[in-house]
Amino acid sequence: MRVLTASGQAATFFAIANIAGADDHIVATKSIYGGSVNLIHQHRLSKLGISCTFVERYRTN
* pLDDT interval class at 23 (50, 70, 90): very high
Task: Output the CA angle 56-41-55, nearest 5 degrees.
Answer: 10
Report the chain's mean pLDDT, rounded to a whole number.
83
Of 11 and 58, the structure prediction assigns the larger pLDDT to 11
pTM, rounded to two decimals: 0.67
End-to-end CA distance of the chain: 37
Number of Cβ within 10 Å of residue 50's Cβ equals: 19
